[in-house]
Amino acid sequence: MPGAVLRGVTLDCADPQTLADFYGALTGMRELFSTDEFVALTDDSGCDLGFQRVDGYRAPQWPGQDVPQQFHLDFRADDLDAMEELALELGAAKPDHQPGDGRWRVLLDPAGHPFCLTPS
């Protein structure tokens, strides 16, 4: 039976280029395509990241659900402390609520989407 292959994930945001620049610097992915409305990043993994402009975008409220997160991205990191430091330097924020007893880190990207850094 044929199976679908994940091609990419697209995040809603107010400013696609700013969010693409953040994730490009965080992951090393390179820009594949760019317009004022949409930016795509790619690498050799076969799964691209896209960022699309949404008028009236409202950032998720995490851990609250007044504006649900709906999903989040997880990234493996060899050195959690170093990757967290990089993400914060690039514009991420670290919320006070940190579940998992330190096994992973929850951060918020510049558009407010939660993402996790997990050990390799």
Query: Which residue positions in the chain have pLDDT lower than 70?
Result: 1-2, 4
- Amino acid 32: pLDDT: 96
Cα separation, 58 vs 7, whole angstroms: 26
- Amino acid 12: pLDDT: 94
- Amino acid 6: pLDDT: 76
- Amino acid 66: pLDDT: 84
Q: Are 7 and 47 in contact (CB under 8 A)?
A: yes
- Amino acid 64: pLDDT: 82
Q: What is the pLDDT of residues 12-24, one digit of tens each?
A: 999 999 999 999 9
**Omega prior to 68 cis, within 30 of 0:** no
Q: pTM for the complete prediction?
A: 0.86
- Amino acid 1: pLDDT: 61
